[in-house]
Structure 1
Amino acid sequence: RPDPGEDHVLGFNYSEWKKTYIPPPEGLGDKQTMELMKKSIVPEFDISKIKLKTDKKNNASVIFGVAMKPGPENKIFGYSSKRLHVQIHAPSYEGAADNELARYLSKILAIPRKLIKIKQGAGYNIRKVRIPKEAVQEK
């Protein structure tokens, strides 16, 4: 039996979940809320919820962080004020995940793929994404 002082119970790590939890839309019942929590679905992604930094080298661009993890499909599974959390389905050779991430973000943000630049971030699964300011301001 787990210690009540621990923040994980039966394999569920509450601290990690709390970092990426997004409240479900208003008006959903308890059953629907639980389904959303189980699936870790972000009902609607709004880039304004993520901290955007102006690119110091290129003032016409903004940079935001993306935490990637491999998975069976491309989906956003959460976000925090620091970064977007994305699951990417891509082969395991170098550059494939970055290319798939750029393609997926272009679809979500409705901007051309060539405008999205991806740089290596702080960790092996953290990326910095640079997009033009106009792409964010149009939204």
Structure 2
Amino acid sequence: MSTFELNHFDDFLSIARSQPEPQKLILVLARRELPHGHTEQQARDFENGHGGHLAPLAGIDKRPDELANFSALVEEAKQASDEWDAVFVAALPGTDGKLPTPKAIDDAIEKVIHAIRNGMINNFLAFDRKGTPLQISHG
């Protein structure tokens, strides 16, 4: 088993391109928001860049070779929303040398969006608007 270091989205992209089966990257843009019924302290923390939750805005699917780098993703994301704070990433592998079906891709995007809404984000990588990996804590 090989190990790798992930310091930027472009590292992930390089790894995705090296996979033996064709795949689609599932990319879900999300924005930081305050929860409903938040306290004054939560609002102050949020203003200082802490707390809140990430709400999904839009899903994008791309083959790894369709994205040159993170800057290309940022440009592409502008078509969906320019108000995002993070992008969640998952890979959907194909089989027998074929890409996943359009239905499988749509289902995967819906599953990622649903998981984010429910705070079940441990199976995804997340990056900020600079392409830096995020470490998201619950609580």
The alignment's TM-score, normalised by the length of structure 2, stands at 0.28
Name the structure, 1 or 2, with higher relative contact order (CA <8 Å, separation 6+): 2
The alignment's TM-score, normalised by the length of structure 1, stands at 0.28
Larger Rg: 1
